A and B are shown apart, each in its own frame.
Chain A
Amino acid sequence: MADSEYILEVKNLCQYFTSGRGRKKLTVKAVDDVTFSVRRAETFGLVGESGCGKTTTGRTIIRLYNPTSGEVTFEGQDIAGKMTRNLRKFLTSNIAMIFQDPIESLNPKMTIEEIVGEGLKVRGQNDRSEIRRQVVQMLNKVGLVEEHATRYPHEFSGGQRQRIGIARAIITNPKMVIADEPVSALDVSVQAQVINLLNDLKEEMGLTILFIAHNLSVVKYFSDRIGVMYYGHLVEVAKGDDLYQKPLHPYTRALLSAIPEPNPLTERTRVRIDYVPERDHDYSKEQPSMVEVEPEHFVYCSPSELEKYREIIQNA
């Protein structure tokens, strides 16, 4: 096992989707040249607008898609290569996923015990009473009770279903959880419950979480470091506070300027910044790449932009 401080390393990951053939062939670069690393027991947030590739990134890491190119290593082991029995086993026992839609992601014909315990069964646990014991333990952990085990998903509210989804993800004791918009389908008053629960589990189990969401306030609150994505590119990676206090990439600035804050005073004086890639960048002469501008703060920029950003940082 590697003793690197990074548990997950993603290098130049590309995920293209194609449709049609011949002249009609269309390639969508959903994830294009994305590089980032996640530390052990860290929460790494991925934000961006719909279609920016944040969900695809998560799904490619857990191999719901086969990556077009690039390297992904988890605990030092390559997980982007050819899918073998061993790799599948390695992946499923180390990385789990929590989905956005708590209704669609639970099989309506299975009881909660079957849903949550399925992971154990797949791993060869045949003792039903042992499965039962662990399921109940897990349900208690996420704030549900033993009686819930024999019920079906439709009997639960959205927040409870999301708790079931979380219980299913963590019962196999994974090292990392990919949470794809875990709260955005929930009511405001219930979102906070689920965020608190995830926070507790993270502390208790030392989980590493890849948190994918579009709500920047939630991502900021929940994550140690944040990556901002735009049209398949990761444009900026930084610690939460750095990102919000000194956003460098014009898209990050535009995104931050667009979040409405629950504060009438700031809202009335809000100045929104537009991001127009053709206007804001001149990449005709120089190619952009991911550069570390200050410690822990990466921006996707060209050499001349880099100088500008360095100045901004120094004056900050």
Chain B
Amino acid sequence: MAETMKSEMMNAEAAGAAAPEKDVILSVRDLRISFRAYGGLVQAVRGVSFDLYRGETLAIVGESGSGKSVSIKAIMGILANNAIIESGEILYDGKDLTKVKEDDFHEIRGHRIGLIFQDPLSALNPIMKIGKQITEVLRLKKGVSKAEAKEKALELMRVVGIPDVEQRFDQYPFQFSGGMRQRIVIAIALAGDPEILICDEPTTALDVTVQAKILEQINQIKKDRNLSVIFITHDLGVVANMADRVNVMYAGKIVETGTSEEIFFEPAHPYTWALLSSMPDLQTKDRLNAIPGTPPNMIFPPKGDAFAPRNAYALKIDHEKEPPMFKITETHAAATWLLHPQAANSRVEMPASLKARIERMKRSGGFNG
């Protein structure tokens, strides 16, 4: 495989004997993106680095304005006109995507990297038949004949679980329900036969029962086609359902990264604690641990750790100096001074209620609704 050499390079530093060989398919390095706005420069992404491995699902979690959507828009090359990529690189297939010209991006966008949007209604053309919207991609990207394209499109519609495809092929988006529309959007994304699929809150606009079906579908397709998936969401339940690894973002930075188990069972950053304990689960009876305040204004990001002003566990240094990523295990790291060896004697631990909840979660492993 072409990527193996690159991945060996990537893994060289983490050459722990036990670490399984992983194939890096996409690598984001110190990405910084700002937007020119009326009040000044909005620093939406402030130094984000992560790797996407082949065949995994990487979830990016964060609130609105945390920079998660902006990061993936940069990967797709669809940033708004007032965006400035200040620094960093996005390495894919030996190329730096931040430097690829728009004319050449067509080769990658839709073709190699597919995207599913949040709102399936505005992602579809309301006055174009569904079939045409799928075959359009096939004709354009694959250069197949009309008849072939239709055959392929019908098959894709079956893959994403649409009944009566022949009849549905000639219908318009308004004749589809929200869940069916999202399936069409997935079919369009798959039409280019991408190897990376980026899902930007694909189920936020859908009902829970429909959401469950779509998530199942995405998982199935991922398995069948060995896709690598970047999954953006703010719903931790969805993350637990989908992700192999999780990046937690706050104020334009990744504050914690780890495997799904590490993030849910051994969270280390106070923001992750807060996220996990601020929403009730089905067993919660006590008062919720609300996070005080609101997310910061990114024209003037706070000095030090951006979460410090809202953080009850903040140390003095959190207000002054930005914490680096502290490595906890091979796969788990968090940007908080609490992990600094000198902070060890201040003995800050996660809130007791969260601890109890995690214990409960571990015990209820066999529960299935």
* Chain A interface residues toward B at CB < 8 A: 49-50, 157, 159-160, 187-193, 195-196, 199, 214, 216-218, 220-222, 244, 253-267, 269-273, 275
Contact = CB atoms under 8 A, between A and B. Distances in A.
B341 interface: no
Nearest to A253: B369
A78 to B, nearest CB: 34
Nearest to A197: B290
B332 to A, nearest CB: 14
21 contacts: A49-B207, A49-B210, A157-B294, A187-B64, A192-B288, A192-B290, A193-B291, A253-B369, A257-B368, A258-B209, A260-B241, A262-B240, A262-B276, A262-B361, A266-B368, A267-B237, A267-B241, A270-B369, A272-B216, A272-B369, A275-B209
Contacts of B87: none
B235 interface: yes
A255 B276 contact: no
A187 B63 contact: yes
A1 to B, nearest CB: 33
A260 B63 contact: no
Contact of B369 (A190, A221, A256): A256
Contact residues on B (Cβ < 8 Å of other chain), bracket: 35 or more
B234 A188 contact: yes
Interface in B224-240: 234-240
Contact of B365 (A189, A265, A271): A265
Contacts of A195: 280, 288, 290
B212 A258 contact: yes
Interface of B: 63-64, 178, 207-213, 215-216, 234-241, 243, 260-261, 264, 274-276, 278-282, 284-285, 287-292, 294-295, 310, 361-362, 364-369
Given A189-B63, A195-B288, A265 B364 contact: yes
A269 B287 contact: no
B234 to A, nearest CB: 6
A251 B76 CA distance: 40
In the A-B complex, list the 6 residue pairs whose CB atoms are closest, starting with the nearest.
A260-B237, A221-B280, A192-B290, A257-B369, A262-B236, A49-B207
Given A189-B278, A244-B282, A263-B264, A196 B288 contact: yes
Given A192-B288, A192-B289, A220-B280, A255 B237 contact: no
A269 B63 contact: no
B368 A269 contact: yes
**Which of A216, A217, A256, A266 counts the most B-chain CB atoms under 10 A from its CB?**
A266
Nearest to B307: A189
Given A264-B261, A266-B367, A192 B361 contact: no
Nearest to B285: A221
Given A187-B294, A255-B209, A272-B212, 18 more contacts: A49-B210, A160-B294, A192-B279, A192-B288, A192-B290, A195-B288, A196-B290, A214-B207, A217-B281, A217-B282, A220-B282, A255-B208, A258-B208, A259-B369, A260-B211, A261-B237, A262-B239, A263-B264
Contacts of A275: 209
B237 A262 contact: yes
Contacts of B276: 262
Nearest to A262: B236
A255 B211 CA distance: 11
B223 to A, nearest CB: 13
Contacts of B234: 187-188
A56 B192 CA distance: 43
A195 B290 CA distance: 9
Contact of A267 (B211, B213, B240): B240
Given A214-B207, A265-B362, A189 B291 contact: yes
A214 B208 CA distance: 8
A109 to B, nearest CB: 22
Nearest to A266: B367
Nearest to A194: B290
B279 A191 contact: yes
A226 to B, nearest CB: 12
Contacts of B211: 258, 260
A225 to B, nearest CB: 16
A189 B366 contact: no
B140 to A, nearest CB: 34
B274 A189 contact: yes
Contact of B238 (A255, A260, A272): A260
Contact of B240 (A187, A258, A261): A261
Given A256-B369, A262-B239, A193 B292 contact: yes
A56 B18 CA distance: 58
A124 B46 CA distance: 54
Nearest to A52: B207
A214 B209 CA distance: 11
A49 B209 contact: yes
